[in-house]
Amino acid sequence: MGFACEDIANAAVWYHRSVAEDLEELARRLARAVTGHVDGVLKVFLPLVESRGEHRIACGDGCSACCANFVRCSVPEALVVAEWLDDPAHADVRARFVAKLPGWRARAGNDPTRIEAHLARHGGSGDAVEWDAYQKMAVAYARKQNLCAFNDDQGRCDIYEVRPLICRSVYVLETADNCVPDRAPPQIVSHPALEEAFREATHRCAEAAARIGRDPEPHAIPEAVARALGLPGLTPMS
């Protein structure tokens, strides 16, 4: 008994969808693995920073000083967040994000697209003039105080458990007051092991995105996750 053309077409659609889902799961696993490595470095390193009583980690529960900055994540990281949001147990968080996203977009305007285009052209060039231009755009964006769409009304991160790499890798010393624009630069916690773990993680995530046919460049976190969720009003993440 032969198959009807419609059966063959449906089987082909099912096959390609299954392959795409399998590739996305591999990308999520990669993101979880590299995130776990970064967390492991931080688990050892951060207690040492405060162990002698000379310094204090300023980042704490409810701190959202850096959450209005221009912050990006990769496709694999966004897929992890999207999967977490699609869990019925987190339906309320998903609903809050969907409700806040239009307001975040309205306040952001065209800035994310403009900044990302600049970084795509000049991000790895090492050109001091272009880096200074990026810094000015990033400061102008931060002045909008456009808090991330994943922050709740108290400023706490709604997706803290699955927050992207950049959100879990950057810590500052003594005070978070300088994490906002037009202040002295914050004293960022730094260590070669942490820097290497972060570089390796972001590189692996970019590779994973490319392997599944997605854009290897990171995007503003709310937009990256919105695309991963397939929310209306956006073209699929390419």
> What is the distance between the alpha carbons of residues 84 and 81, in angstroms, rounded to a whole number?
5
Q: Which two tokens stand for residue 88?
A: 């019925």
Asked, for residue 85, whether it belongs to a domain, the answer is yes
| pLDDT of amino acid 235 | 42
Residue 4: other Cβ atoms inside 10 A = 8
In which domain, by residue range, is 52 found? 5-229
**The dihedral sign for the CA sequence 166, 94, 138, 110:** positive
Helix, strand, coil in percent for the chain, rounding step 5: 60, 5, 35
Domains in the chain, number: 1
Q: Which amino acid is at 231?
A: L
C-alpha to C-alpha distance for 188 and 54, rounded to whole angstroms: 15
**Residue at 236 is within a domain:** no
Considering the domain boundaries, does residue 237 fall inside one? no
| 148 lies in some domain | yes
Residue numbers in the chain where pLDDT is lower than 50: 1-3, 7-16, 234-238
> How far out from the chain centre does Cα 83 lie?
14
In 53-79, which positions are buried (b, 16+ CB within 10 angstroms) versus exposed (e)?
A: eeeeebeeeeebbbbbbbbbbbbbbbb
Q: How far apart are CA 77 and CA 32, in angstroms?
A: 8
pLDDT score, position 123: 77
In a domain, 68, yes or no: yes
Q: Please name the amino acid found at residue 122.
A: H
Which pLDDT score is estimated for 21? Answer: 74
235 in a structural domain: no
Which tokens is 109 given? 């305007």
CA–CA dist 75, 236 (Å, integer): 11
d(CA 86, CA 80): 10
101: its two tokens: 């996203």
**3-class DSSP assignment, residue 162:** helix
For the record, the structure tokens of 28 come out as 């999520």
**What is the distance between the alpha carbons of residues 19 and 3, in angstroms, rounded to a whole number?**
22
Q: Tokens 């912050």 identify what position?
A: 71
DSSP-based three-state secondary structure for 166: helix
* Cα–Cα distance measured from residue 129 to residue 135, given in angstroms and rounded to the nearest whole number: 10
